[in-house]
Amino acid sequence: MKKNNLLTNGLDRYLKSLIALLDGHDIELLALARFMSFWHSRNQYCGKCGKKTKISEAGHVRICQHERCKEHYFPSMDPAVIVHVSSKERCLLGRKKIWPEGMYSTIAGFVEPGETVEDAVVREVREEAGIHIDKVAYQHSQAWLFPGSLMLGFTAIAKDEKITVDKNELEDALWFTRNEIKSDPRILPYKVSIAYKLIMEWLSKGD
Ligand SMILES: [Zn+2]
């Protein structure tokens, strides 16, 4: 599922240029700051009655100022899934057009209302690359800056290998061997990303 977000605005382009310079703790702080500023800017008015909301609880709540409404709004993250899919000695990586030249990464997308995160993993891989998967297993999570999502990282095994790319989501998707990834440093995503961690864990299993 594609989410209309802030990936293309100037601030996020600037932040993206910074993340390669930061470690895990600094990334978490930046994710918190980025998310809170994003959330406050979009919750200035009550969604129930339309009146102004006001900051409370050191910025962690916004309360509607209408006498009879007083609706409380709390920050919430968007759950997103990201999955490392492997098939025998190869793994599935896709790339988006806006990424740096040559960079590929694991398949990712937002969880839709009403589905489990495991269902979202299966759906995203099928939709974006046309691959059916099995053995979906949770690995790690990470707060992500763009646009305030909680990334839930999984591994999975492919049941077939014929890729059909959804060109609305990805520019390309390919199967890579460990040697192909190791021999071209352009392929790997940002070192601070959960995608990088998932790929590195898979690479280490082949040593
Ligand atoms: Zn209200």
> Residue holding tokens 């995203």?
124
Distance from residue 65's CA to the centre of ligand 1 (Å): 7
Quote the pLDDT of residue 35: 87
Distance 40 CA to ligand 1 centre (A): 16
CA of 33 to the centre of ligand 1 (A): 26
| pLDDT score at 8 | 45
Please state the domain extents for the chain.
10-73, 78-205
pLDDT of residue 139: 97
Distances (CA, A) of 148 to 30, 83, 144, 181: 10, 19, 6, 29
| Token pair for 157 | 């095994």
Q: Which residues of the chain have pLDDT under 70?
A: 1-13, 145-147, 207
How far, in Å, from the CA of 31 to the mean position of ligand 1?
A: 28
Residue 148 CA to ligand 1 center (angstroms) comes to 24
> Where do we find the tokens 């409370």?
56
**In Å, how far from its chain's centre is CA 74?**
21
Distance (angstroms) between ligand 1 centre and the Cα of 49 equals 4
52 alpha carbon – ligand 1 mean position (Å): 7
Cα separation of 186 and 31, whole Å? 25
The CATH T-level fold of domain 78-205 is: Nucleoside Triphosphate Pyrophosphohydrolase (3.90.79)
Q: Ligand 1 mean position to 64 CA, how many Å?
A: 5
Q: How far is the CA of 9 from the centre of ligand 1 (A)?
A: 30
Q: What separation in Å is there between the alpha carbon of 68 and the centre of ligand 1?
A: 8
Among candidate residues 143, 146, 129, the one with its CA nearest the CA of residue 85: 129
Separation of CA 74 and ligand 1 centre (Å): 14
Type of residue numbered 42:
R
pLDDT at 15: 73
The span from the CA of 28 to the CA of 117, in Å, is 22
Q: 158: phi > 0 → left, psi -120 to 50 → alpha, else beta; which?
A: beta
Which amino acid is it at 168? N
- What's this model's pTM, rounded to 2 decimal places? 0.82
Which pLDDT score, from 0 to 100, does residue 3 have? 46
75 Cα: distance to centroid of ligand 1 (angstroms):
16
Distance 67 CA to ligand 1 centre (A): 8
Please tell me the predicted confidence (pLDDT) of residue 14: 73
* Count of positions (residues) in the chain: 207
